[in-house]
Amino acid sequence: MQVSTLHHLPRLTPEQQGIASSAVDQFVTSLESQVHDLHSFMLVRHGHVVAGGWWSPYKREYPHMLYSLSKSFTSTAVGMAIAEGFFSIDDSVLSFFPEETPDAVNEFLAAMRVCHLLSMTTGHANDTWWHMTHRADGNWIKAFFSVPVEHEPGTHFLYNTGATYILSAIVQKTTGLKLVDFLQPRLFEPLGIENATWEESSQGINLGGIGLSIRTEDIACFGQLYLQKGIWKGQRLLPETWVDEATAFQVSNGDSPYSDWTQGYGYQFWRCRHGAYRGDGVFGQYCVVMPEQDAVLAITGGMALEDMQQPLDLLWDSLLPAIGSEPLPEDVEAQRLLTEKLSNLHIAPLKAQHTSPTSAAVSGQTYQVDANELHIERIRFDVTESGWLLGFKTSHGEEQIPVGYELWELSQSILLDEPRTSALHPVASSGGWTGEDTFTVVMRLVETPFYQTFVLNFMGDDLLVETGVNLSLEAAPKQLLTARK
């Protein structure tokens, strides 16, 4: 197999690690047919990558937004900080933040410990995250303490992203380093994780519960570290006791035998069926660790919330039974077919027409856009030999985004930067005429789960643009932009 400088883990064939290549092929086929918008996967057995692939336009070298899979990395930082003596798992949460402590403290808030933040048993009846992100003065720590603690800590499970932010704040308060900087020499550098980025609040604290971006193989290495009980290349990075406690059943979170979200919760890790555990993030970011099979599965994607159980079901039903205890005879033909499949994974570009009677009339035209939430001031449409150029003028400047016909055209854009930081993001764009007067563009932000669709309706001197994002945690109606020459 070809070796890349991005590889952290050695490669072997599936058969060498006790898995038939045909079974992996069937697993990937099932994922493609039953799970919408997968971006990548990597399967590791006995510390060796046996299969991995990226659905074009997503690429091996791109980092991916992890969302709540970030929580498991925050837990790891907490374990390391505790091992180095910076604080204890039984320390009072209020003890770290005397300046943010409310005037009135009830007995439940006073009883909240670090372990309760880790196990999502703070005693809150509602997730604190909304209150934190909407606080006018930007003090998220005060906002966390302002939400009533209605249950005795340790007795009530509630998934609470705000609790993980407080863990990040504790690491920063006690070590003097932001979470990402604390982990750099202790985790990222040993595992070969380069250029990890972590979003932060206006307080200058990494978000903890979300916001980390790393590559797919980085996720697999993280899972392998836990599988190896905290040892990496002969060096102990994380205490074995922490690995055991963080991934153990700490609190009940439901009783459905069919859901991997009701098998118990550890310290920022979910328990799974079949003796496994995982970190995961919304829209399809997974790091599944299977100790009984000595295997790790990493996945990134852009799937809807209701589809997130499906990849796990396919793992248990299709792939898990094929993981054997002994090496298998090499199957050269099956390996060839699997390699061919993995080399040709792709998300189909937009299917549309290459031209329209309207095309010549609107090419080169600039449209002034009415006030809108995307802060687009002008739109320009140009026909080129290979596709189109879509020009945007915003408060951040002007840019032209190439749009491919029956292919994904790669470029960089600040148009969909959120929050507004004037940062360039890699995008892949595909488009075409979906009606005589209608031109449609799909722009994929290839380091995230998201893509934006722009439908340009040309009506004489007027332009009506319908735009919307594929995924959202809140109801996100399409936006309508009106413009004219």
* pLDDT > 80? residue 333: yes
Residues of the chain with pLDDT > 90, as a percent, come to 91
Q: Are residues 408 and 478 in the same domain?
A: yes
Binning pLDDT at 50, 70 and 90, where does residue 386 land? Answer: confident
* pLDDT > 70? residue 7: no
Residue pair 46/17 in contact by the 8 Å Cβ criterion: yes
Answer yes or no: is 410 within a domain: yes
Q: Are residues 221 and 336 in the same domain?
A: yes
Binning pLDDT at 50, 70 and 90, where does residue 473 land? Answer: confident
Q: How many domains does the chain have?
A: 2
Answer yes or no: is 328 within a domain: yes
Query: Helix or strand or coil: residue 216?
Result: helix
Average pLDDT over residues 438-463: 96
Q: Does 148 sit behind a cis peptide bond, omega within 30 degrees of 0 on the bond before it? A: no
Answer yes or no: is 188 within a domain: no
Contacts of 422 (CB under 8 A, 6+ apart): 396, 414
Other residues' Cβ atoms within 10 Å of the Cβ of residue 61: 12
Q: Which residues pair with 11 in a beta bridge?
A: 49
Q: Are residues 401 and 305 in the same domain?
A: no
Average pLDDT of every residue of the chain = 95
* pLDDT > 50? residue 3: no
Where among 288, 319, 343 does a domain terminate?
343
Where among 343, 377, 402 does a domain terminate?
343
Q: Are residues 363 and 281 in the same domain?
A: no
CA distances from 298 to 76, 114, 285, 315 (A): 18, 28, 8, 11
CA distance 306 to 317: 19
Structural domain boundaries, residue 255: 15-62+215-343
Q: Are residues 397 and 447 in the same domain?
A: yes
Answer yes or no: is 475 within a domain: yes
Say which CATH number the domain at 305 has: 3.40.710.10
* pLDDT > 50? residue 165: yes
Q: Check residue 421 and give its pLDDT.
A: 61
Q: Are residues 415 and 474 in the same domain?
A: yes
Say which CATH number the domain at 393 has: 2.40.128.20
Answer yes or no: is 225 within a domain: yes
**pLDDT tens figures, 393-414:** 988 888 999 999 999 999 999 8
Q: Are residues 394 and 338 in the same domain?
A: no
Helices 332-343, 21-34: crossing angle, 10 deg rounding: 30
Binning pLDDT at 50, 70 and 90, where does residue 476 land? Answer: low
DSSP result, 429-481: EEEEEEETTEEEEEEEETTSS-EEEEEEEEETTEEEEEEEES--SS--PPEEE
Answer yes or no: is 399 within a domain: yes
Q: Check residue 371 and give its pLDDT.
A: 93
Q: Check residue 2 and give its pLDDT.
A: 37
Q: Are residues 379 and 321 in the same domain?
A: no
The CA angle 145-150-155, to the nearest 5 degrees, is 105
Q: Check residue 6 and give its pLDDT.
A: 58
| Residue with token string 């905290």 | 230
Q: Are residues 285 and 372 in the same domain?
A: no
Q: Are residues 370 and 440 in the same domain?
A: yes
* pLDDT > 50? residue 1: no
Binning pLDDT at 50, 70 and 90, where does residue 419 land? Answer: low
CA distance 123 to 157: 8
Answer yes or no: is 425 within a domain: yes
* pLDDT > 90? residue 424: no
Q: Are residues 474 and 403 in the same domain?
A: yes
Q: Are residues 30 and 54 in the same domain?
A: yes
Answer yes or no: is 371 within a domain: yes
**pLDDT tens figures, 90-147:** 999 999 999 999 999 999 999 999 999 999 999 999 999 999 999 999 999 999 999 9
